[in-house]
Amino acid sequence: MNMKNLQQAADDAGVIAETVETLIKLLDRFHANHHQQYEKLVAVWPDAESLNAKPLYALERQLSPPEDE
């Protein structure tokens, strides 16, 4: 994989991580505003409570090619 493709993969991983962070915020807001309905949300999307952007940010760093000095 060339450096350009590697950088694009790193950038894409970063965008996915940011999107996951946004989803977590939306889920928190849903829980705060619709507490009684939150159980229904988790019933249809059990993985919602286990979302974590940290591994995606780590992947972004891992994929980022070293900067030229």
What is d(CA 23, CA 12) in angstroms, rounded to the nearest whole number?
A: 16
Position 68 scores a pLDDT of: 55
Position 3 scores a pLDDT of: 83
Position 4 scores a pLDDT of: 86
Range of the domain at 15: 3-63
| Residue at 32 is within a domain | yes
* Tally of domains in the chain: 1
| Residue at 69 is within a domain | no
Show the DSSP H helices in the chain as ranges: 3-33, 35-44, 54-63
Position 25 scores a pLDDT of: 98
pLDDT in tens, the chain (69 residues): 688 899 999 999 999 999 999 999 999 999 999 999 999 999 999 999 999 999 999 999 999 988 754
The tokens for 26 are: 């939306």
Q: How far is Cα of residue 7 from the mean position of the Cα atoms in its chain? A: 18
| Residue at 68 is within a domain | no
Cβ distance 24 to 56 under 8 Å?
Answer: no
